[in-house]
């Protein structure tokens, strides 16, 4: 029995934030496949017994169950010294970026990609221009922040980086944002994270890719 069990699936960048953290820390963990595309997170069993917010990821640690990627990252950062904040100022600056990520960076980017990669075009036409505008605004804030620095907070990788990086490795044809040429600082930063010797792409780190035809 592994110490950490992460309910996740390959196409979820929010799950990837937690999976990558466990992977980079060399934690004793295993993925548990969530059949999202067949409705697993919308089923009453999931909502009533696993996560009332109806989302993945969920991290199981013995009898404890944590949801929300930002909570899982915070919990793990306190237990793996490479990621433990140096004090309250750093902890709050990390939280600041995790909240920005949840509110404006991952949220709009993940939703835009979900529509473009997994839904029929006529189901999201009205939302697409709105979401892309929000994505470009949030990417602009992060691009400017990373232009003169290597990591989001301080001088080493923190969970703020892992939160913001949830969706940036998915192929461009899934979301339509040309990160490499439009956001060069974000592109260098995502490559910096990927240079970690234990790094793995979401499609290899988590189960469920490719999806059955």
- How many Å separate Cα 143 from the centre of its chain? 18
Per-residue tokens: 183: 């956001």
CB of 154 to its own copies, least distance (A): 15
Q: Which is nearer to its own copies, 145 or 192 (CB)?
A: 145
Token look-up 């956001």 returns 183
Minimum CB–partner distance for residue 52 and its own copies (Å): 6
Between 23 and 69, name the residue whose CB sits nearer to its own copies: 69
Residue 66: CB minimum distance to its own copies, A: 7
Considering beta carbons, is residue 3 or 79 the nearer one to its own copies?
Answer: 79
Rounded least distance, CB 73 to its own copies, Å:
10
Closer to its own copies by Cβ: residue 65 or 201: 65
Contact footprint for its own copies (CB under 8 A): 52-54, 66-71, 74-75, 92, 95-96, 98-100, 102-104, 107, 124-130, 141, 144-145
Residues 6+ apart with CB under 8 A from 28: 2, 3, 4
What Rg, from alpha-carbon coordinates, does the chain have?
17
How far apart are CB 192 and its own copies at their closest, in Å? 20
Q: Which one, 11 or 67, has the nearer CB to its own copies?
A: 67
5 bridge partner residues: 30, 60
Per the DSSP assignment, residues forming a β-bridge with 7 are: 32, 58
Joined together, the tokens standing for residue 202 give 């979401």
Please write down the HEC assignment for all residues of 48-85: HHHCCCCCCCEEEECCEEEECHHHHHHHHHCCCHHHCC
């Amino acid at each position: 029995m592994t110490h950490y069990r992460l309910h996740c699936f390959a196409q979820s960048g929010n799950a990837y934030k937690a999976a990558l953290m466990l992977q980079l820390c060399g934690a004793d963990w295993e993925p548990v496949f969530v059949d999202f595309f067949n409705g697993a997170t919308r089923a009453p069993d999931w909502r009533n017994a696993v996560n009332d917010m109806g989302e993945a990821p969920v991290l199981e640690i013995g009898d404890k169950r944590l949801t929300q990627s930002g909570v899982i990252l915070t919990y793990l950062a306190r237990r793996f010294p490479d990621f433990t904040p140096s004090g309250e100022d750093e902890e709050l600056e990390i939280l600041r970026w995790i909240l920005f990520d949840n509110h404006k960076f991952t949220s709009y980017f993940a939703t835009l990609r979900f529509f473009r990669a997994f839904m029929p075009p006529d189901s999201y036409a009205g939302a697409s221009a709105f979401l892309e505008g929000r994505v470009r605004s949030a990417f602009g804030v992060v691009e400017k922040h990373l232009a003169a620095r290597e990591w989001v907070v301080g001088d080493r990788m923190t969970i703020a980086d892992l939160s913001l990086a949830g969706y940036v490795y998915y192929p461009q044809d899934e979301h339509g944002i040309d990160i490499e040429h439009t956001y060069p600082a974000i592109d260098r930063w995502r490559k910096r994270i990927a240079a970690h010797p234990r790094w793995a792409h979401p499609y290899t780190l988590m189960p469920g890719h490719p999806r059955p035809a």
